[in-house]
Each structure stands twice: as structure tokens, then as C-alpha cells.
Chains A and B, each alone.
Chain A
């Protein structure tokens, strides 16, 4: 699958106007340079080979770990990735942890109190979390907490002289909370419906008729079963670890991979655009494989099916 996609992406980028040589030569030079010289340069960089040959060369060098160079500044794409991915992971792991814990507990709470004021309040709040675009929420948060009260820095990740992790906490609070907001809402709705589904099953009635205390029924019997789809949901969220924070990174000037991606799209830095999007695809495909394995691990029925 990933080969098919890499081929398509390469093909798409091949259709974009201009080639590497025309990007390398400044406009002033382009007026004076001769056609033969241009041709010689193209030959030297292997641009005159057929499309398939070039794709093959590119593919093999990628597999060897050589991802090529960014067109802006000529930095190796590998270096860019090594630098930006940890920043993104840091941000989104924090957001994922917050949103999962908060979302699950709120969802189960509202399932247990179905029909009450708490439940409908949480439902509306959850819908608001899904509906309000995260960048709008981020801007309002910056306006209130960053500018009006000046409690938190408005953006960035590392300030000079603030090297250890504790000093960086204020910087991560706002972006990660904003990012967690939409995710929390999703997790909440999901765990609510999953818990409701479980609570209406027969074995809960059995547990109740045995005279078990209510909290035992809910936590030990209900929650354990309701957890399965929630774990699957977390699996689905794994790609979000590096793909979900794109816009938030831009708003908070977080130096992550999403920020880099947007910058490269704006600058038409095609090699970089291509490599980053291929990396995303790779992550998504790996994650979907992981989900399959995870469900087989957790859900006993899937295991039974194999026997």
C-alpha cells in the first residue's frame, strides 16, 4: 500500500510546475544562462532520466534512510524530522493522556446518570467541544490567558535559559489543553454510549440481583467491558499523535512537524511536503495494524474466532 501511495505522491509532485534546477537558479542568473548549460545541469542531477527510473532511484535511497534535501536552505529532510517530531510527540502525548482520562471518566459519569442535568449538560458541552474549531478556541485562550491575564506564554516551546522540563511546563499547558479539548469531547461521547450499551446487558442485571453494591457493578463489571471499544478508539487516535496537532502548532508557533508541513506547503518545498506526507501515511497504516492486534488482545470474542 505504501508503495502505491509513494508512487502516486511522486507522480503528483512530478506534475507540479518547475523542476529542481529551475528552483536552484536565481532569476537574475536565469536570464544569462545558456540552454546547453541548463541541460548539462539537468543531466548531472539525473533529471533527464525517465519518470520510472527517477522514481526507482528515489525509492531505493529512501529505503536506505536517505530522504533527500529540503529545497529551502538545502537542509537534510532527515535532520528536520529528527528535530521536529519529538516536539510534536511531546505536545500530543500530553494532550492524548489528558483527553483520554478526562473523556472516559466524564463519559462514564454521564452514562451512569443518564437523563439527569449532569448528563445533558455534559452532552451539550461535548458537542460544543466537537463544534468549536480548535484554532478559534486557541485564539480565545491566547487572548484571555496569554494577553489579558498574562499567566501563560502565548507560544513557542523552548525559551533561552529554560532548558529543563519543569521550566517548559507553562509553555505546553495551553496548546495541550486546547488540543485535548476536542479529543476529550470525542472520547466522552464514545465512552458514554459504550457504557450505556454495557449497562443494558443481562450480566449487569445478574450482578445486581446478586445484591452487589452499585459501585462494584459499575466499576468492576460494567467499566471493564465498556473499556474495549474505548481502547480501540485510542488506537484510532494514534495517528493523531503526529497528524492532529497541525493547526494548533501553527497557532502557538510550536516547532513541530505539523508546523513544518504547513511551512513547506506554503513555500512549495515539494521534497519536504512529499516526505512528511509519506511519513503520515506510514504512521496511519502502522496504527491500523496495531488496532487490529489490540482488539484481538482485548476482546475475548475475537480470540475465540481464531480457534
Chain B
């Protein structure tokens, strides 16, 4: 009688396992936790909308962001020009969308690249140690001794200003943090039993490190990518605002805010629309990052 019910239970578990339902449950928990965080979901939705809007900018806006139209200078927002027009009659709505392209592209691109480099070195360095680790650690220490904006400004003054240089500079300043994060994660993963098991099987270092350990180190890095994207977008805007970022005729949110600031008394919409959209992007990215961190943090699950 008793064995029978036990057998039934085991059958049930085996059935679940064979249908891969046991594995997915754990991932669902993370997903559920993330979805329960309303602010994080809001951030995700908002950010997706903004990205889609910048990608499909030509479809959304009938105006060329660069086309000068002197007949419609400095018009306040209207049905024709949703966000108004600027000093030379260019449509602000399409300029904001195209500027967002540059801003998000720089932010997301450079933080992904920085993460890639940081992860590659950090994983190997954290797992194997050795001279690679020592050198990388020293170099990243050098980069972290500068306040970030100062380092960026210094590099801009050395390399000169252009979009590619901005990329390189952001990657240079960003990889150190990623490297340290993934290294610290690897240092603790290294002590786990499954790693020792893999080692005892004689599996090659690279395979253990990049195939088996890397996925477990990805969580915190994902959070950092989100947050550092926000930071890079902010820094780029700061640089463009100072006139040291992207150059005319290209525009980013920072340079749009700068243009708006020059005549903000007569045409406040030139300042407000790029600024508000910009703040919304950062807002959503920060919420997204926070939500991810909460979902991935095992300690926070108690609350």
C-alpha cells in the first residue's frame, strides 16, 4: 500500500523531469520575481519603446532631421511639428529620435564591448591567476584612480573628438569594472565542487573557464551592463553638452540639450523634449538594472 503511493510519487517526478518541467521551474522563479517588480517591468517596456522608436525613426517622423527649413523657424510644438522646430527650422521630434540613435548606440555598444573584454580577461584571470591577472589588475587600478568624467575628458584631449574615439574611450574606461566584477565572481566559483570535478576529468582550462563557469558569472555582469549603459549615455551626453562629444551635423541627446540651452528662454521646448526623453531612458535603464539585480540576488529572496 505504502510502497505503491511512493512509487506513484516517483513516477510523477520522473514524468516531470522527462518533460523538462523540473528545470524550467527554477528559471520561472527568476522570471516571476522580475515580473513582480512593477517598476522593473515598466523600465523594460519603456526602454523597448524608446529603442524601437529610435530604430524606426524614419517611419515615425516625416521630416529629415538635417533639413533646414527657414520658413518654419523656432515654431512651438504643433500638430505639424510635434516637438516644435529649432533655430534653423529643423524638426525637433525627428532630431530627438535620430539623436537617440547615436546616444543609445554609443552607450549600449560600448558597454557591451567593455563587458566582452572585461569578461574574457576576468574569467581567465580569476580562474587561472598568473601574470595575465596581475597585469590586468594593475591596469584596471590605473583606470579606477581617475574620477570617470576626468579620465574621459583627459582621453578626449589626447585623442581628439569623434564618434569612434568616444567608443574607444568608453570601452577603455568601462572594461575595468566588468573585469573586476567577473574576476571576483570567478574567484568564488573556483572553489565549487563542480569545478573540481571538471578538473579531475582533465578537461582543458579554457573549456572549464568559458563553457562551464562563465554562464554562472553572467548574472551580475548583466546587471552591470544595464547600469553602465545608463552611465555611458549620461557621460556621452555630458561630453556633447560641453561641446566635446559628437560633432555637427551629427546630433545626440547631449548636443540637442546644449542647443536648447542656448536659446532656452525663447524656445524652452528645444531643451525640454530632448531632456525629458533622455531622463526617461536613463530612468528605465536604472529600474531595469535594479530589477535584474533584485531578481538575481539570492539573499534578497527572503523579503
Q: Report A's interface with B, CB cutoff 8 A.
A: 1-2, 4-5, 8-9, 12-13, 15-16, 123-124, 127-128, 130-133, 135-136, 139-140, 142-143, 147, 239-240, 243-244, 246-247, 250, 261-262, 264-266, 268, 270, 273, 276-277, 280-281, 284-285
Contacts and interface: CB of A to CB of B under 8 A. Distances in A.
Nearest to B144: A284
Contact of B234 (A123, A133, A139): A133
Q: Interface majority SS on A: helix, strand, loop or mixed?
A: helix
A13 B158 contact: yes
B243 interface: yes
Contacts of A147: 264-265
Nearest to A280: B150
B145 A16 contact: no
B237 interface: yes
Nearest to A15: B158
Residue in B141, B147, B157, B238 with the greatest tally of chain A CB atoms within 10 Å: B157
15 contacts: A2-B145, A16-B157, A131-B230, A131-B279, A133-B241, A139-B264, A139-B275, A140-B272, A240-B147, A243-B150, A246-B150, A262-B242, A265-B153, A277-B153, A281-B146
Contacts of A266: 242-244
B285 to A, nearest CB: 8
Interface string B133-175: 0000000011001110111011011100000000000000000
B147 A130 contact: no
Contact of B142 (A4, A130, A273): A4
B242 A247 contact: yes
A8 B154 contact: no
Contact of A243 (B147, B230, B278, B282): B147
Interface of B: 39, 141-142, 145-147, 149-151, 153-154, 156-158, 230, 234, 237-238, 241-244, 257, 260-261, 264-265, 268, 271-272, 275, 278-279, 282-283, 285-287, 290
A127 B244 contact: no
A254 B74 CA distance: 30
B36 to A, nearest CB: 14
B264 A143 contact: yes
Query: Which 8 A-B pairs give the minimum distances between C-beta atoms?
Result: A243-B147, A131-B282, A131-B283, A136-B275, A265-B157, A132-B279, A277-B154, A12-B158
Given A5-B142, A143-B264, A277 B286 contact: no
Given A143-B265, A261-B153, A127 B257 contact: no
Contacts of A13: 158
A143 B147 contact: no
B257 A135 contact: yes
Contacts of A135: 237-238, 241, 257
A81 B283 CA distance: 37
Given A4-B142, A15-B158, A247-B238, A139 B257 contact: yes
Residue in B147, B150, B154, B243 with the greatest tally of chain A CB atoms within 10 Å: B150
Nearest to B283: A131
B104 to A, nearest CB: 15
Given A13-B158, A131-B282, A5 B237 contact: no
A132 B157 CA distance: 26
Given A130-B286, A139-B264, A1 B141 contact: yes
Contacts of A276: 150
A1 B144 CA distance: 11
A284 B146 contact: yes
Nearest to B234: A133
A44 B156 CA distance: 31
Contact of B278 (A133, A250, A268, A280): A133
Contact of B150 (A4, A123, A261, A270): A261
Nearest to A274: B154
A240 B150 CA distance: 11
A246 B154 CA distance: 13
Contacts of B153: 246, 261-262, 265, 277
A103 to B, nearest CB: 17
B137 to A, nearest CB: 12
Contacts of B290: 127
A136 B39 contact: no
B141 A132 contact: no
Nearest to A9: B154
Given A133-B237, A143-B271, A266-B244, A284 B145 contact: yes
A284 B151 CA distance: 12
Nearest to A262: B242
A243 B234 CA distance: 16
Nearest to B239: A247
A127 B288 CA distance: 11
A17 to B, nearest CB: 9
Contacts of B238: 133, 135, 247
Contacts of A142: 264
B181 to A, nearest CB: 17
A261 B244 CA distance: 13
B286 A243 contact: no
A243 B279 contact: no
Contact of B157 (A139, A246, A268): A268
Contacts of A280: 146-147, 150
A143 B282 contact: no
